[in-house]
Amino acid sequence: MALFYYDYNKYILEYINMRSIFVIFNTIFFYVFFGDCFEDKAVATATVIGLEGESETARQWGLTFIGAQKAHDAGFTGAGVRVGVFDSGIDLNHSEFAHRPFAGSADIDLSLLAGRVIPLAGDKQMHGTGVAGVIAANRNGIGMHGVAYDAIPAVTGVDLAASRFDAQMAFGFAYLGSVGAEFRNASLSIRETILPNIVDENYVEDFLPLTLFTLRQAARGSTITIWAAGNWSGKHADLPARLPYYFAELESTNLAVVALNRSGGLASYSNMCGIAAGWCLAAPGGDVEAGILIPYAGDAKAYAMQAGTSFAAPHVTGALAVVRQIFPDADLRDLRKLILKTAADLGQPGVDAVFGWGTLDLGNIVDTIAPAGRSVFASSAWSRHLAMEQMARMPFSGSLQRAASHEQVWMNGGALRAAIDASTGLPGVQAKGLALSMGVDLIEQSDLVAGFGFGYTRMQTDELGQGNSASANGYHGLGYLRWDDERWYVKSVAGVSYFHQDHTRRHISGLAGTTYSFSNPVARSKQNALGLFADVEAGRKADFRGLNTVIFARLSGAHQRFGAARESGADILGYQLDADSISTLGIGPGIRVSNRFDLGNWQVVPELELSYKRLLGSNDFSSGTALLSRNMEARTTPLGRDVFDVGAKLDFIVPDRGVTASFGYTGSFRKSAEQQKVQLGLSIQF
């Protein structure tokens, strides 16, 4: 391995520009008088064990505890994500690290004001190998595997019991950042016995000046540091893990981790979160009776059971690598938030001093990208199409004959109810709508009628069992034309629509049992859409056994384009809605039969219609969305291309007054959806 020399002199000089020379001498004073205070207190002596029977996933109980299998089954394994491990080194000869890239891994060698990295020399303290194994040990059917078994570890080896821990951390952290590690695991602690009774910002600034300088740089560059909370059974996380308490600018890029035993309680040795609760969570660390299985340094096929917050922290670090694969373009600060907000609540409800935000839950994180979490955006697009289809039928209401001796004003109103079936991973949908329209004939001739109209629709869409809904107000303008003679006819409608759409998501995927869910977050968004619709029908009239019969073909289509929007009210779990468009086109035949008879001064015209439509081109109702910069499609259950309609209508005509009232019903059925419409109409001649 080639040597890498880091200009530590330059680094120190940069620091001196920020702090006085006095502080540097004060730091050196700590180096001289406080040795062996940079360490990890082992809870149980590691014991080499043999492994039989269970699969490697089952042997590492922590994986099941944090829901890692759900992520792995979905294909998220931390592939390609570089993870930094600041520890005692690593045994690269162990089978758990065979055939793995470790580019950037090195031991650290420090002189007073200079630092360099040298080739890895193993893991004499037998600590870093276990930590790296919890994060990224191979999934090879042998022993155990890590949370992010396809991640790329970058390990810096240091002497955990040496003095000059501030310089080691500063240099090691800076080096890991230089080789591209976005996350760095720090399973270490500082003995509380060397600290004074009162620790404040000034003391910490003087005690860890170089580390603070590095962490502040990381806060600007978005590198996340994951700290073990410490194994002293204390009420607060160790000093390194609670640094954001003293320096708020560090909170967005640091996490503290306490340890859980196999029963889900706080391990007896683990510090509590304490004053670090706001950036703290819990993960499996084991106990004396049921520790965490780790690769054992010094023997390529050996494993050990060990417990400690040292092995709780890498569960979180590995989870972050998996999360980074899920959201490859997200801001790292948002991934840190996501880890906390999806943690399963533990202990007292809400963020508490023992467990912080609760238990790490990779299963919840995978659920944040579940299709059901965003399907309402596609469902609302479907309901807007229903509104345009309903408006396209308004001017004629299915009627063919109309007196042509006078201009005519007409009004129609209708109600619809439609549903989409649930399918794997997607909820059922129910839509309800009201429509009102009116218009006037501008051209009134014996064989030609033309006019214009306008209308309003109100659509309400609900996802069953989800609590997610959408509502849209639609405003429509349309023109229509009908030509007919004794045997043939053509009628057509074309229009434009404008929708103001609201979305409300009360069920936000990934928050099951979380502290964040207690605040009942509701995601809301507003979106505008423009639409075009058209309906053309042509047919031949005939008399069949005294019934007026029409054989026709119908071509109908609708197009909508909607703008971009952003959800509010759900913090990082709010979706970005892309500008997108959806088009449908259908064609098919139909038959309509009617009759006319007198009822006193009225004429009554019953009518029955059967039709079929085949949808061409794209038939999916979908729209583009993004969560934490991950682009994902929102969609409904596939609806099927074959649509069957059945309709019935009853007209009541008062000839001497030029008034026609009508009542109609249409049912529309396809593979996974159905629609029921009723319509009332009134036309007046003058």
Q: Indicate whether 456 belongs to any domain.
A: yes
Boundary-marking domain end, from 336, 368, 400: 368
pLDDT, tens only, 202-215? 999 999 999 999 99
Domain shared by 424 and 547, yes or no: yes
Last residue of a domain, one of 333, 368, 403: 368
Is 55 an active-site residue?
Answer: no
Residue 387, phi then psi, degrees to nearest 5 = -65, -40
Residues with Cβ within 8 Å of 634's Cβ and at least 6 positions away in sequence, in order, are 371, 374, 375, 376, 377, 378, 622, 623, 624, 625
* Same domain for 357 and 432: no
Residue 539 forms part of a structural domain: yes
Same domain for 316 and 453, yes or no, is no
- Over residues 68-91, the mean pLDDT reads 96
Report yes or no on 125 lying in a domain.
Answer: yes
**For the residues of 561-607, what is the DSSP string, one character each?**
EE--EE-BSSGGGPPEEPPEEEEEEEEEEEEEEE--EEETTEEEEEE
In sequence order, the β-bridge partners of residue 614 are 587, 642
CATH of the domain at 308: 3.40.50.200
Which structural domain, as residue segments, surrounds residue 160? 50-368
- From 320, 338, 368, give the residue that closes a domain: 368
Is 127 one of the annotated active-site residues of the chain?
yes
> Of residues 40, 87, 107, 535, which has the active-site annotation?
87
pTM of the model: 0.89
Q: What is the CA radius of gyration of the chain?
A: 35
Residue 45 belongs to a domain:
no
Is 645 annotated in the active site?
A: no
DSSP annotation of 344 reads B
Task: Establish if 625 belongs to a structural domain.
Answer: no
Q: What are phi and psi of 507, to 5 degrees?
A: -105, 100
Contacts of 626 (CB under 8 A, 6+ apart): 575, 576, 578, 632
pLDDT tens per residue, range 193-249: 888 888 999 999 999 999 999 999 998 877 999 999 999 999 999 999 999 999 999
Q: Give SS3 for 439.
A: strand
577 within some domain:
no
Q: CA angle, 145 as apex, 141 and 149 as ends, to 5°? A: 110
The backbone torsions φ and ψ at residue 315, rounded to the nearest 5 degrees and listed phi first, read: -60, -40
Are residue 347 and residue 389 in the same domain, yes or no? no
Q: Are residues 156 and 292 in the same domain?
A: yes
Q: State residue 362's pLDDT score.
A: 98
237 lies in the same domain as 276: yes
Work out the mean pLDDT of the chain and round it to a whole number. 88
pLDDT band at 5 (very low <50, low <70, confident <90, very high): very low
**pLDDT at 146 > cutoff 80:** yes
Residue 196 DSSP SS3: coil
Residues 99, 239: one domain? yes
Same domain (yes/no): 61, 93: yes
Q: Looking at 72, 94, 127, 145, which residue is catalytic?
A: 127
Total number of domains in the chain: 2
Tokens of 262: 């196999």
Query: Rounded CA gap, 267 and 314, in Å?
Result: 16
How far apart (Å, rounded) are the C-alpha atoms in residues 141 and 148?
Answer: 15
What are the tens digits of pLDDT across the range 607-645? 999 999 999 877 779 999 999 999 999 999 999 999 999
Question: For residues 287 and 262, what is the distance between their CA atoms, to the nearest angstrom?
Answer: 8
Residue partners of 478: CB distance under 8 A and separation at least 6:
391, 392, 394, 395, 437, 439, 452, 453, 454, 455, 493, 494, 495, 496, 533
Do the domain assignments include residue 10?
no
List the single range of 23-27, 37-41, 89-93, 563-567 with lowest mean pLDDT: 23-27
Active-site entry in 105, 189, 270, 310: 310
Residues 277, 426 within the same domain: no
Are 182 and 308 in the same domain? yes
Kindly state whether residues 156 and 208 are assigned to the same domain.
Answer: yes
Whether residues 381 and 458 share a domain: the answer is yes
